[in-house]
Amino acid sequence: MVNTDELLAHCISLSNPEGFDDPRRGKVRDVYALPGDKLAIVSTDRISAYDHILGEPIPCKGQILNLMAAWSLRQVQDIVPVHLIEVPHPNITIAKKCSPIAVEVVVRGHLTGHAWRQYQKGLRSVSGAAMPDGLREFDPFPEPIITPTTKAEAGHDEDISAEQIVASGLISEPVWKKISQTALQLFERGRKIAASRGLILADTKYEFGFNGQTLTLIDEIHTPDSSRYFYQEGFDELRAAGKAPVQLSKEYIREWLRENGFTGQPGEVMPQLPDEIRLNVFQKYARLYEQITGEAFTPVITPDFDYTLAAVLNKFMA
């Protein structure tokens, strides 16, 4: 097993392979265009919370995310075409380049996060989706609901209803119908897989794009960055006692930030993540990977990641 000093020292914050132009950098991924309408998507160890990239990277987070997304995408290929082509390195996915649809398709099976904050204010709908009365935080909805948001270029994603999506011309009605049906099928599959591993997939987010005329599932799915998971064991007992379920997701870091005075509001100072917290987050991500895939997570240390990345990119440049 690799020691923790080595893990902390070999984080990938920013990829910068020699001889290549700057990639499109998202909060977590660096995306390189390749010939033949392909992309090399590099999952870095950056972590974002409350729409801010934190100052310190999380050991192995990129690998875990990338491998878990690839594993999960392979489980749903019978439902919808996926962008995944191959994984030449644990941090890198080669994908079909798609024109992204500018909507994040959020599916919620339980009342938590943003939906719970709206509910607490007395609202009984989120993004136009109705929520019944009488629910407590973390309770399941009678049926999963779709609560889309816009995909803002910068800043905060906003709630948008299915009606607004279609009326604004963002997505045509038949395409939205296909997307929403597909999202519910994907969520059902994700829940089934999670349930078989003793977990509850509470909510998640999907992104779609067009590869030519083909609606395609892009980005990451069913990862700890895009989803909330609860442990099934003890869930009912904790709920009966009015307590929060045990979560396996990014919630841990959000909580730590909240305790340290940061919720992404203007004027707040982002605290520095101590190594201990970075390692705790790593362990939580690794545990979720192992629980979902049923495989041990073995960290791969790449001494010179930029050199390795350049070699991978060059292979696809020909």
Ligand X SMILES: Nc1ncnc2c1ncn2[C@@H]1O[C@H](COP(=O)(O)OP(=O)(O)OP(=O)(O)O)[C@@H](O)[C@H]1O
Q: Tell which one of 42, 98, 107, 200 touches ligand X (CB under 6 A).
A: 98
> Among 32, 63, 80, 83, which residue sits at the site for ligand X (rule: CB under 6 A)?
83
Closer Cβ to ligand X, 40 or 162, answer by number = 40
Residue 178 or 239: the one with the smaller Cβ distance to ligand X is 178
273 to 302: interface string for ligand X, x by CB under 6 A:
------------------------------
Q: Binding marks (x or -) toward ligand X, 142..161, rule CB under 6 A?
A: ---------x----------
Q: Alpha-carbon distance 76 to 56, whole Å?
A: 33
Q: Is 52 in the site for ligand X (CB under 6 A)?
A: no
Q: What are the residues facing 86 on neighbouring strands?
A: 94
Size of the site for ligand X (CB under 6 A): 18
Instruction: Tell me how far apart the terminal alpha carbons of the chain are, to the nearest angstrom.
Output: 37
- Contact 196/213 with Cβ under 8 angstroms? no
Under the binding rule (CB under 6 A), the answer on residue 31 touching ligand X is yes
Alpha-helical (H) ranges within 75-172 are: 113-120, 162-167
Q: Under the criterion CB under 6 A, does residue 219 sit at the interface with ligand X?
A: yes
Nearer to ligand X, 113 or 245 (CB): 113
- Looking at the Cβ atoms of 170 and 238, the one nearer to ligand X is 170
Q: Which is nearer to ligand X, 39 or 186 (CB)?
A: 39
Q: Does 115 sit near ligand X (CB under 6 A)?
A: no
CB of 31 to ligand X, least distance (A): 5
Q: Is the dihedral of CA 214, 218, 222, 226 positive or negative?
A: negative
DSSP annotation of 82 reads: B
Q: What secondary structure does DSSP assign to 248-290, as a single string?
A: -STHHHHHHHHHTT-SS-TTPPPPPPPHHHHHHHHHHHHHHHH
3-state SS class at 312: helix
The order of strands in the sheet holding 24-25 is 24-25, 29-34, 38-43, 92-96, 84-89
Distance between CA 53 and CA 55 in Å, rounded? 7
At residue 258, what is the residue type?
A: R
Pick the closest to residue 88 from 70, 100, 72 (CA basis): 70
Q: Which of 20, 26, 150, 268 binds ligand X (CB under 6 A)?
A: 26
Only one of the segments 25-33, 178-186, 258-266, 289-297 lies at the binding site for ligand X (rule: CB under 6 A); that segment is 25-33
Per-residue tokens: 6: 């080595």
Residue 209 engages ligand X in binding (rule: CB under 6 A) = yes
Among 218, 253, 310, 313, binds ligand X (CB under 6 A): 218
- Distance in Å, CB of 66 to ligand X, minimum: 11
34 binds ligand X per the rule CB under 6 A: no
95 near ligand X, rule: CB under 6 A: yes
CB 309 within 8 A of CB 90: no
Among 61, 89, 97, 228, binds ligand X (CB under 6 A): 97
Give the nearest distance from C-beta 288 to ligand X in angstroms: 18
Q: What secondary structure letter does DSSP report for 247?
A: B
Comparison of 131 and 218: residue with beta carbon closer to ligand X: 218
User: Given the rule CB under 6 A, which residues bind ligand X?
Assistant: 26-29, 31, 39, 41, 83, 95-98, 100, 151, 207, 209, 218-219
